[in-house]
Amino acid sequence: MENIIIRDIRKQDIPDVVDIQINGWKTAYKGIIDDNYLATMSKEEKIKKRQNDYMLNGFIIAKLNDEIVGFCRYIDNNSHSPEVKGADCELLAIYVKSNLKNNGIGTKLFQYVKNEFITKGKNKMILWCLKDNEASKKFYTKMGGKIICERPIDIGNKSYQEVCFLYNI
């Protein structure tokens, strides 16, 4: 997968990004998150949210052969997780098309974000992952993260647990 291009998101990329997110949730969270919630996720709602997000710094996509195959959001502060002391940056979301996982795309996105943070002089990155998402936890551990805490998260009308990974970068 050497032909992967990582670049900042553009407005016209949003529908493809939303498709990856929704399909990713339906695949990765099947049996973890309530089936009804997954079945009724609204593409229109997600597009509205991403239209707000795309103009912020730290929103990149991965392209392969002119097709968007993954994306990532990140921030160079700890404003989303102030309860995690010592962290100075956060990887907010990382998604790869389900049928293309285990091909190095997620690793390239992760490394891109890590390098961005290193360039900005950041030292400790965090990311949150659903506690029961074993495949993602395995990937995040492989990337060098250590679970340091957990917290509840409400999705739909149910509560779940998520774990926080810390990376010394």
Residue 58 lies in a domain: yes
HEC per residue, the chain: CCCCEEEECCHHHHHHHHHHHHHHHHHHCECCECHHHHHCCCHHHHHHHHHHHCCCCCEEEEEECCEEEEEEEEECCCCCCCCCCCCCEEEEEEEECHHHCCCCHHHHHHHHHHHHHHHCCCCEEEEEEECCCHHHHHHHHHCCCEEEEEEEEEECCEEEEEEEEEEEC
Q: Please determine, for residue 55, whether its predicted confidence score (pLDDT) is greater than 90.
A: no
pLDDT tens profile 82-115: 999 999 999 999 999 999 999 999 999 999 999 9
Residue 12 lies in a domain: yes
Q: Please determine, for residue 52, whether its predicted confidence score (pLDDT) is greater than 90.
A: no
pLDDT score of 2: 74
Q: Please determine, for residue 1, whether its predicted confidence score (pLDDT) is greater than 70.
A: no
pLDDT score of 56: 75
Residue 30 lies in a domain: yes
Percent of the chain with pLDDT over 90: 86
pLDDT tens profile 27-42: 999 999 999 999 999 9
pLDDT score of 45: 85
Structural domain total, the chain: 1
Residue 9 lies in a domain: yes
Residue 86 lies in a domain: yes
pLDDT score of 21: 95
pLDDT score of 48: 81
Q: Residue 106 sits in which domain range?
A: 5-122
Q: Please determine, for residue 72, whether its predicted confidence score (pLDDT) is greater than 70.
A: yes
Residue 117 lies in a domain: yes
Question: How much is the mean pLDDT over the chain?
Answer: 94
Residue 129 lies in a domain: no
Percent of the chain with pLDDT over 70: 99
Residue 167 lies in a domain: no
Q: Is the pTM of this model over 0.85?
A: yes
> What is the CATH number for 24?
3.40.630.30
Q: Please determine, for residue 51, whether its predicted confidence score (pLDDT) is greater than 90.
A: no
